[in-house]
Amino acid sequence: MQFTQFDDLNALLVDFTAGHKRILGDNLIGLYLQGSAAVGDMDEHSDVDFIGVLKQDLGDPVLEELREFNREIFDRRSDIYWAEHLEGSYFPIDVLQDFSAVDTQLLYLDNGAREMTRDTHCNTLVVRWCLYEYAIPMFGPDFKTLMDPVPINQMKADVLEIMTSWGSEILEHGVDSSCFYQQFITGFYCRTLHTLQSGRVHSKRASLEWAKANLDPEWHRLFDQVMRERASSAVLAVSPANEDDMQRTLEFVAYAKQLAETSMSQEQTNV
């Protein structure tokens, strides 16, 4: 099965899908790729974003069997890079279809983690929009049959709330000063500004290019640095960011937050 351009990852995903079908049985409605694999900018440093859609949430003993299976996949990391870079959540279908249920914690497997937790990480309207538009089925029906399209204005409001609340937290309390977070934060705010402008969700690379073409030239050096220094998250997470680059990123957060709030206010005024 050719889910991605990487043969070793495709083989892993075949096993990943078969294990989910075996363990979850009729409770598994579908298993989908999203994120960079779906929107078109996946490379050798990407994580592998997935979503499982369930008829109902999991309880023991099935939950423990799934936990053990995901541990077994993770433990293949010495043989295949991608095994420790799977990241995704499991949506009960009623939560997926309820656009007001974004505060519901889902079973979640983080990039680089061996154990599942409960988190709202994937439970956003942006993720739902990306799935509706781009999801790659590993198992199950066309994703468009599972839920209604996300209203664009509602998604924009969700994006604005996330970027402003996180921006306030970053600016007030600081953030991990690793290369990973310095680059992630810059890319995140380029993507969210791009979404507010276009009403669509774009790849990281496309949003950085859009930002360089459309935002104040004072940020060009920052965008160039992020695009130039991209590497695996495992490497970036343990490498400290350049202090000047980190300071510039925090300044960009303040700029992006203010720009987003102003543009959305003007858009609402013009409605």
Query: Can you list the alpha helix ranges (DSSP code H) found in the chain?
Result: 7-24, 36-39, 62-74, 93-97, 125-134, 152-173, 179-198, 204-214, 220-229, 233-237, 243-270
User: At residue 153, does pLDDT exceed 70?
Assistant: yes
Span between the terminal Cα atoms of the chain, in Å: 47
Angle at 163 between CA 206 and CA 194, to 5 degrees: 25
Residue 236: predicted pLDDT: 66
Q: Classify domain 7-145 at the CATH topology level.
A: Beta Polymerase; domain 2 (3.30.460)
pLDDT digit string, tens, across residues 164-201 = 999 999 999 888 888 888 999 999 999 999 999 999 99
Tell me, what DSSP letter sits at residue 27? G
CA distance 87 to 50: 6
pLDDT digit string, tens, across residues 104-142 = 999 999 999 999 999 999 999 999 999 999 999 999 999
Instruction: Please give the share of the chain, as a percent, with pLDDT higher than 70.
Output: 94
Which is nearest to 125 in space by CA: 94, 88, 154?
Answer: 154
